[in-house]
């Protein structure tokens, strides 16, 4: 049931950062019991807006009203007290504490108030109640570190609920979830709705927005564009509102013209992790690897790249068996890895765009160990414009770039090496629609130059849209292989979930 | 930061005009040179995402090894042995950190305690006197108007700056400190470069130890206590990030100048050394606090 009176109203919100007008008079209203999508490309101002609602930033101008009354949200604590909870992309759980300790962190039920002695029994009972109300089967006494990403997400939601939140902001909650886990999340959101909790839902995945959101507000370049009812608005219309133009083709797939085999792995095995992985990739080909989170796709890429050890199995490059013990060995054999966790494994946040771009190929920019900074700058500028990285100059810290641009910097780094086998692990995670297409185009350019690509992705449309062949992994094994022509979401899912490639089996 | 240094200098110079005298300037720079050399080594360690707690104790070990070898074999042998002692100690720390993967804080904490113990064992806890008079030149001599330790420290600053800003090794130091995992995945042999970082730090401690031995013209097993902490302070006061990746020789130079001028200036205006410590403590925290506040406002 949707209450017509808005719980949250924002009017004319303005937020300036040095040199940037991040929000330019943005309005938004969210009703109780409504799931309200916030859409826009990276840099459109979504993050700034939700941080403003959450009390992380204070607006330079504009009103925030709750239940029709002007609210003063000076810090995250105020926001929480007013019933606003935010689930950020970066997890805010303490990994070495239990689920219960995390959910009630800072407001533990006490037994002897004066001595601040925690009432453990009550803590666990109340945690179980919250978890049960969301129909979650998570052990209240489990250590958070030992739980999966999806469960972390659920714990964050449980925590928000236990705070009696009336508005929960979710920032890309499904970015790291598998489709099965996403279903569970959507069930939880359904229950929140039924209780009259309002949800602001930030996501780049428009199919999800179609599935669970009631209305959507679209931002572009820090400005309000429109608020539309989701049911009567097509995905294409939403994209048009986000980018301000029509996007003809979401997956700019180039014609497949296979060359000779570049990479082949045979019976790659690592005890307890990988069990006899064999496959090959040809020049001009994209081999997509689908599977659930935890199916060891990342581990496969890391093993090929020499980042993790293998117990047995062989790797052939251009027909020759090679020993790959370290990433340096892999790079010398012209292999590149674009890792899934950009922040932790891909970028050097406090270093400049230039320093990031040249890092894997410093030999090319140095003579007798002395760096040629001018040549570095020239090359970085070339790649920044070739890849259309949006940055004022190459000396900007990568930290200050948007996710899509950071990813382009990571890819640019490998364009300096003579890599011809590219292992892409979740190449477009957390990147907006426009940025995704740019990454796909880059892949096309690489193929045209004779590269071979292995692309791990949890987004099935991406797998189906970009791959020439699709491998499905489950529990460290390849359990199915499909050609582009006869792959469907159903077949892949069935294989990933049940480990069989034939739906009838 | 340069404004702060200038401000300090103007204040001290106004209160006591002797501050600006050539003799005093020579003195300050000579005193600062030991801390400067330790801080240069520390800059490599901290920038790379680590830390070297052993540099103070290494002064003592180097001093003892240098003096004993010099008495037995001669001047050049003594200096060489001193430099070698620091380098080998750095190599051992480096091996423990890079190969056995013990956190730098723990590995160099162990070295801090062990090196002091080694210095006391080798010397029997007593100073080693009777070093050749020529050795004194290294600590007390001049090149033109400049004290020799000052010239050595200045040269070391230039050299370290070139290494950090213009060589592959230097760039990798920043990369490791910014994101070690990404550095590994970019094909950098992180283990080797980490070892090189602690060898470098040990070598600079060796150099500092030899010069200090020349200044006191004896081997002293008690030298350098808490100097490792001052070297860390010098790195962070100027703006070096304690977790690595941000900073450089320029910011470390600023930190060394602040600590050096403060110590000398407070002496000249007759502030007791007890109170000096309180002031320096406050400055260390204050400088980093201001730096962080500025960063947050970005």
Q: Residue A106: give its domain's CATH number.
A: 3.40.50.300
Classify residue A29: in a domain, yes or no: yes
- Verify that A279 and A203 share a domain, yes or no: no
Probe site for chain A from B185, B241, B296 (most A CB atoms < 10 A): B185
Same domain, A490 and A435: yes
Interface contact A16, partner B, CB < 8 A? no
Count CB atoms within 10 A of the CB of residue A504: 5
DSSP B142-159: EETTEEHHHHHHHHHHHH
Determine the distance in angstroms separating the CA of B140 from the nearest CA of chain A, rounded to an integer: 35
Q: Considering only the beta carbons, identify the residue of B166, B168, B181 that sits closest to A345.
A: B181
Kind and range of the H or E element at A200?
strand A198-202
8 Å CB contact of B168 and A360: no
- Radius of gyration of chain B, Cα coordinates, nearest whole angstrom: 19
Query: Count of domains in chain A?
Result: 2
* Alpha carbon distance A289, A455 (integer Å): 6
Q: What is d(CA A407, CA A412) in angstroms, rounded to the nearest whole number? A: 9
Secondary structure of residue A477 in the 3-state scheme: strand
Query: Among candidates B244, B259, B277, B219, which has minimal Cα distance to B38?
Result: B259
Residue B7 lies in a domain: no
In a domain, B275, yes or no: no
Question: Given A332, A369, A413, which is nearest B186 (Cβ)?
Answer: A413
**Can you tell me the distance from the alpha carbon of B194 to that of B59, in angstroms, rounded to the nearest whole number?**
21
Measured over the CA atoms of residue A138, residue A141, residue A143 and residue A146, the dihedral's sign is negative
Q: What percent of chain B has pLDDT over 70?
A: 99
- Does the residue B159 lie in any domain? yes
What DSSP character marks residue A271?
T
Task: Give domain status of residue B99, yes or no.
Answer: yes
Q: Which residue of A has its CA nearest to B298?
A: A18
Per the structure block, which two tokens stand in for A222? 């820090």
Which residue, A412, A351, A357, is CA-closest to B174? Answer: A351
Task: Please tell me which of the candidates B169, B182, B241 has its beta carbon nearest to residue A345.
Answer: B182
Cβ(A417)–Cβ(A331) below 8 Å: yes
One DSSP character per residue, A13-48 reads EEEEETTEEEEEEEEEEEETT-EEEEE--TTSSHHH
Q: Check if A359 contacts B (Cβ < 8 Å).
A: yes
pLDDT at A134: 75
**Does the distance separating the beta carbons of A327 and B186 come in below 8 Å?**
yes
Q: How far is the C-alpha of A219 from the C-alpha of A225, rounded, in Å? A: 5
- The closest CB to that of B175, out of A337, A351, A363, belongs to A351
Can you say whether the dihedral through the CA atoms of B77, B82, B83, B87 is positive or negative?
Answer: positive
Option in A326, A337, A351 nearest B174 (CB) = A351
- Answer yes or no: is A268 within a domain: yes
Check residue A397 and give its pLDDT.
92
CB contact under 8 A, A360 and B187: yes
Any domain includes B289: no
A367 domain residue, yes or no: no
Domain for residue A251, yes or no?
A: no
Q: Please tell me the predicted confidence (pLDDT) of residue A243.
A: 75
In sequence order, what are the beta bridge partners of A382?
none
Beta-bridge mates of residue A289: A456, A471
Section B168-183 average pLDDT: 95
Domain boundaries, position B38: 32-228+239-248
Contact B185 A363 (CB under 8 A): no
pLDDT of residue B297: 63
Same domain, A144 and A272: no
Going from the C-alpha of B116 to that of each of B121, B124, B225, B232, the distances in angstroms are 9, 12, 9, 19
**How far from the centroid of its chain's Cα atoms is residue B24's Cα?**
22
- Per-block average pLDDT, block size 10, for chain A (505 residues)? 75 82 90 93 82 91 92 89 85 86 86 83 91 83 84 84 88 77 84 90 86 93 91 87 69 81 95 94 95 87 95 94 94 93 90 94 88 94 88 90 86 90 90 81 90 91 92 92 88 76 48
Q: Closest-CA residue in chain A for B186?
A: A360
Which chain B residue shows the shortest CA-CA distance from A417? B186
What is the C-alpha to C-alpha distance for residues A204 and A43, in angstroms, rounded to an integer?
Answer: 13
Measure CA B165 to chain center: 19
CB contact under 8 A, A327 and B245: no
C-alpha span between A182 and A174 (Å, rounded): 6
Q: Are residues A174 and A317 in the same domain?
A: no
Determine, yes or no, domain membership for A39.
yes
Confirm whether B27 is domain-assigned.
Answer: no
CA distance B188 to B179: 12
B166 Cβ under 8 Å from any chain A Cβ: yes
CA nearest to B90, candidates B216, B209, B226: B209
- Of the residues A75, A327, A356, A375, the best mutation for testing chain B's interface (the one with the most B CB atoms within 10 Å of its CB) is A327
The residue of chain A nearest to residue B174, with distances taken between CA atoms, is A351
Q: Can you give the pLDDT at residue A505?
A: 40
- E strand or H helix that includes residue B286: helix B273-297
Beta carbons of A348 and B178 less than 8 Å apart: yes
Interchain proximity B166–A370, CB inside 8 Å = yes
A-B Cβ pairs (cutoff 8 Å, strict): 74
pLDDT of residue A167: 93
A141 Cα to chain B: minimum distance (Å):
30
The reply to whether A392 falls in a domain is: no
Residue A167 neighbours by CB distance under 10 Å: 24
Q: Which residues 235-254 on chain B approach chain A with CB closer than 8 angstroms? A: 241, 245-246
Contacts of B247 in chain A (CB under 8 A): none
Q: What is the pLDDT of residue A2?
A: 52
Binary contact (B167, A349; C-beta < 8 A): no
Contacts of A262 (CB under 8 A, 6+ apart): A281, A282, A283, A317, A318, A420, A421, A452
A234 in the same domain as A323: no
Residues A165 and A198 in one domain: yes
A101 and A232 both lie in a single domain: yes
What pLDDT was estimated at residue A503?
46
A305/B166 Cβ within 8 A: no
**Do A194 and A312 share a structural domain?**
no
Domain's final residue, options A210, A243, A276: A243
- Which of A307, A363, A369 has its CB closest to that of B184? A307
Q: How close does chain A come to B245, measured CA to CA in Å?
A: 7
User: What is the chain B residue with the closest CA to A413?
Assistant: B186
Distance from CA of B180 to the nearest CA of A (A): 8
Whether residue B172 is contained in a domain is answered as yes
Q: Across the interface, which of B175, B178, B189 has its CB nearest the CB of A328?
A: B189
Q: Is-contact B210 B62, C-beta < 8 A?
A: yes
- Tell whether B171 lies on the interface with A, counting CB pairs under 8 A: yes
Tokens 């428009």, residue located:
A206
Instruction: Identify all chain A residues contacting B172, using CB atoms and an 8 Å cutoff.
Output: 362
B159, B173, B179: best to mutate for the A interface, most A CBs within 10 A? B179
Q: Could you tell me if residue A301 is inside a domain?
A: yes
pLDDT band for B185, please (50, 70, 90 cuts).
very high
A60-112 tens-digit pLDDT:
999 999 998 998 899 888 998 899 998 887 677 888 999 999 998 888 888 88
The predicted pLDDT at position B16 comes to 87
B258 close contact with A: CB closer than 8 A? no
Query: CB neighbours (10 Å) of residue A75?
Result: 12
CB contact under 8 A, A328 and B166: no
Cβ atoms of A422 and A446 closer than 8 Å: yes
Model pLDDT, residue B52 = 97
> In A, which residues are within 8 Å of B292 by CB distance?
none
What is the pLDDT, as a whole number, of residue A502? 53
- The structure tokens listed for A97 are 């504490």
The total number of structural domains in chain B stands at: 1
pLDDT the model gives residue A247: 55
Chain A residues inside the 8 Å CB shell of B298: 18
CB contact under 8 A, A307 and B168: no
- Tell me the residue ranges of DSSP E strands in chain B: 142-143, 146-147
Residue A82's domain spans which residues? 6-243
User: Which DSSP string corresponds to A281-320?
Assistant: EETT-EEEEEE-TTSSHHHHHHHHTTSS--SEEEEEETTE
pLDDT exceeds cutoff 50 at B63:
yes
In the listed set A243, A277, A312, which residue is the last one of a domain according to the structure?
Answer: A243
B143 forms bridges with which residues in the sheet? B146
Q: Using the 8-state DSSP alphabet, how is residue A329 labeled?
A: H
Burial class (CB in 10 A: 0-12, 13-18, 19+), B18: exposed
Looking at the domain assignment, is residue B157 inside a domain?
A: yes
Condensed to tens digits (0 to 9), the pLDDT of residues B68-80 reads 999 999 999 999 9
Residue A304 covered by a domain: yes
Going by their DSSP bridges, the two strands A452-456 and A110-112 should be labelled as unpaired
Domain boundary among A193, A217, A243: A243
Could you tell me if B229 and B56 are in contact, meaning their C-beta atoms sit under 8 angstroms apart? yes
* DSSP calls for A98-150: BHHHHHTTTS--EEEGGGTEE-HHHHHHHHHHHHHHTT----TTSBGGGS-HH
Whether chain B has a CB inside 8 Å of the CB on A346: the answer is yes
> Is residue B191 within 8 angstroms of chain A, CB to CB?
no
Q: Does A392 touch chain B (CB under 8 A)?
A: no
Residue A18 contacts B, CB cutoff 8 Å? yes
What pLDDT does residue A490 have?
A: 80
Question: Within 10 Å of residue A238's Cβ, how many Cβ atoms?
Answer: 21
* Inter-chain CB proximity A337 and B245 less than 8 Å: no
How many Cβ atoms from other residues are within 10 Å of residue A212's Cβ? 19
- Let me know: does A46 contact A236? Beta carbons within 8 Å: no
Find out whether A72 and A52 touch, Cβ atoms under 8 Å: no
């Amino acid at each position: 049931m949707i209450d017509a009176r808005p719980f949250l109203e924002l009017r004319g919100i303005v937020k300036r950062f040095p040199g940037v007008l991040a929000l330019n008079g943005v309005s938004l209203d969210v009703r109780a019991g409504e799931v309200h999508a916030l859409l826009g490309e990276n840099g459109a101002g979504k993050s700034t807006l939700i941080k403003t609602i959450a009390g992380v930033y204070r607006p330079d101008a504009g009103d925030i009203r709750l239940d029709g009354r002007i609210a003063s949200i000076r810090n995250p604590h105020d926001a929480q007290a007013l019933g606003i909870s935010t689930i950020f992309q970066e997890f805010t759980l303490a990994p070495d504490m239990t689920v219960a300790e995390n959910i009630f962190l800072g407001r533990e039920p006490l037994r002897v108030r004066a001595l601040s002695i925690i009432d453990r029994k009550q803590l666990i009972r109340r945690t179980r109640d919250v978890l049960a109300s969301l129909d979650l089967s998570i052990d209240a006494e489990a250590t958070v570190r030992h739980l999966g990403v999806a469960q972390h997400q659920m714990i964050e939601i449980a925590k928000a609920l236990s705070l009696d939140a009336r508005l929960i902001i979710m920032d890309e909650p499904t970015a790291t979830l598998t489709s099965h886990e996403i279903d569970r999340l959507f069930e939880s959101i359904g229950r929140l709705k039924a209780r009259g909790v309002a949800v602001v839902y930030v996501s780049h995945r428009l199919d999800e927005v179609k599935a669970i959101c009631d209305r959507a507000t679209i931002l572009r370049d820090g400005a309000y564009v429109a608020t539309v009812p989701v049911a009567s608005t097509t995905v294409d219309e939403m994209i048009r509102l986000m980018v301000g133009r029509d996007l003809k083709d979401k997956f700019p797939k180039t014609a497949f013209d296979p060359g000779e085999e570049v990479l082949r792995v045979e019976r790659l095995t690592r005890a307890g992790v990988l069990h006899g992985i064999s496959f090959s990739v040809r020049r001009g080909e994209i081999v997509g690897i689908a599977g659930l989170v935890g199916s060891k796709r990342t581990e496969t890429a890391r093993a090929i790249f020499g980042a993790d050890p293998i117990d047995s199995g062989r790797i052939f490059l251009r027909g020759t068996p090679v020993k790959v013990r370290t990433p340096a060995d892999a790079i010398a054999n012209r292999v590149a890895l674009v890792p899934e966790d950009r922040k932790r494994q891909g970028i050097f946040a406090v270093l400049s765009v230039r320093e990031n771009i040249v890092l894997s190929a410093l030999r090319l920019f140095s003579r007798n160990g002395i760096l040629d900074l001018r040549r570095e700058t020239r090359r970085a500028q070339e790649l920044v414009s070739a890849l259309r990285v949006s940055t004022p100059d190459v000396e900007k810290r990568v930290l200050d770039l948007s996710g899509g641009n950071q990813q382009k910097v990571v890819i640019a780094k490998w364009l300096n090496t003579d890599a011809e086998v590219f292992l892409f692990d979740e190449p477009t995670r957390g990147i907006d629609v426009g940025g995704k297409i740019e990454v796909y185009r880059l892949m096309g350019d690489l193929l045209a130059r004779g590269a071979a690509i292995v692309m791990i992705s949890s987004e099935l449309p991406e797998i189906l849209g970009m791959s020439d062949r699709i491998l499905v992994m489950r529990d460290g094994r390849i359990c199915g292989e499909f050609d582009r022509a006869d792959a469907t979401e159903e077949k892949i899912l069935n294989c990933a979930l049940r480990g069989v490639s034939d739906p009838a089996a | 930061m340069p404004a702060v240094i200038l401000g300090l200098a103007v204040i001290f110079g106004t209160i006591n005009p002797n501050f600006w005298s050539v003799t005093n300037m020579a003195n300050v720079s000579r005193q600062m040179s030991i801390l400067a050399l330790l801080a240069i080594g520390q800059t490599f360690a901290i920038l790379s995402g680590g830390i070297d707690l052993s540099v103070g104790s290494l002064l003592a070990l180097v001093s003892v090894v240098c003096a004993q070898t010099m008495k037995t074999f001669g001047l050049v042998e003594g200096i060489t042995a001193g430099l070698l002692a620091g380098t080998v100690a750095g190599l051992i720390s480096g091996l423990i950190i890079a190969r056995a993967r013990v956190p730098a804080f723990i590995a160099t904490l162990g070295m801090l305690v062990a090196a002091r113990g080694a210095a006391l064992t080798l010397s029997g806890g007593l100073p080693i006197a009777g070093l050749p008079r020529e050795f004194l030149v290294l600590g007390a001599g001049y090149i033109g108007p400049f004290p020799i330790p000052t010239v050595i420290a200045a040269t070391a600053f230039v050299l370290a700056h070139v290494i950090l800003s213009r060589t592959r090794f230097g760039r990798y130091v920043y990369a490791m400190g910014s994101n070690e995992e990404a550095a590994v995945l970019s094909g950098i042999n992180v283990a080797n470069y980490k070892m090189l970082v602690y060898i470098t730090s040990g070598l600079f401690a060796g150099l500092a130890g030899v010069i200090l031995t020349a200044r006191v013209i004896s081997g002293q097993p008690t030298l350098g206590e808490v100097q490792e902490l001052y070297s860390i302070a010098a790195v962070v006061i100027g703006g070096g990030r304690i977790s690595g990746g941000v900073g450089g020789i320029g910011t470390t130079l600023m930190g060394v100048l602040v600590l050096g001028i403060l110590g000398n200036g407070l002496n000249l205006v007759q502030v007791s050394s007890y109170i000096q410590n309180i002031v320096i403590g406050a400055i260390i925290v204050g400088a980093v606090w201001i730096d962080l506040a500025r960063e947050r406002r970005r």
